[in-house]
Chains A and B, each alone.
Chain A
């Protein structure tokens, strides 16, 4: 019991709070500086979403540090226990308790956002509509049987192949598919390149050329070499749907294709007289209503190239009901847990008359508004506390001055 009390006291201590806050500060600083070289996406994963991190000052001096994720969890424990241990002594200072409650809510909302939110974008030209949005970073491979009614769709989620090294291979098969799909040579950022015919390389002379990773991770275009290996008819029943299981299946024809994130069309392959579309693409998520872009307005400050306003006029259709909505900078559309933001636009710089697409950032976040509530709580708490302290200080000051006069 004594040990438990000591552990609780340690976890609730000001000392631990100081150490955690200091490490958070240090990691925030390192993470800020490193963005110059590595870009936000990489830094976020390395410093701010990790349990441990090794900060490389230079080639030979590497410093192991706790990651921000771990620090946040410890801070949550520290604050919660601190509140419990010290609450009875803190009733005379209600402001502090309220403010700490707000910070706890902020940490919880950060956790919920990190674990449960989904985000991506919906890009529409005027007149277009969609009820899906797509991820900025996460990939999957979709296999659609085109000649069955209805078409059957199989998905290989990104986590099954994005961690593959350049020389790794993985094989995927499903019970009802007459082939296995072998993936090899995954590249997180690449571009197709035509090779001279004499080299007889790649698929029809096209290879995927690895590219340097972009600092803006959404610009990376993944690619992978896919081989469709027809299965002998008698093997189809035996194959269970086992994602990622290595296969040594033999026999049947093999078709080799390149899957690339920006391919204009899926790879169509015919196996046993049936056509299948295989496509590497960003994850897509459904939205329970449809958004149609009626008009996109892009205004600039007069006689400058500086944007003064972006605005999309959309129609939101849900079942038979529809309503017109404006989505502007700083004025998003919130509906059914989804939030649509006017994020950017796509224009053809060489052709000012070409249509412009509006890009909405779409977020589904259960903790969307929690930081706002946390802000109110913290603001109220700190104001109460500091006014209380100011009053005490002024009283003491008055007393001191009256003593001096006396």
Chain B
């Protein structure tokens, strides 16, 4: 596991920065997009960290039913258009 992935705060910041940098064009990301943030790590190791971020409510899942994507908690069109929160 790389130092970046091992450091919870730094990893979270890297993921949030990555999402924010692209927030003008998209609000939802495939899991594999995060491989670019942690180029030295195996995807199954990245998975544990990303899912912990969901548990910590930094990220949230978006699912079509067949595919799942990740986004910053509370961000994106879905919330505004559906007025759920």
* A associates with B: no
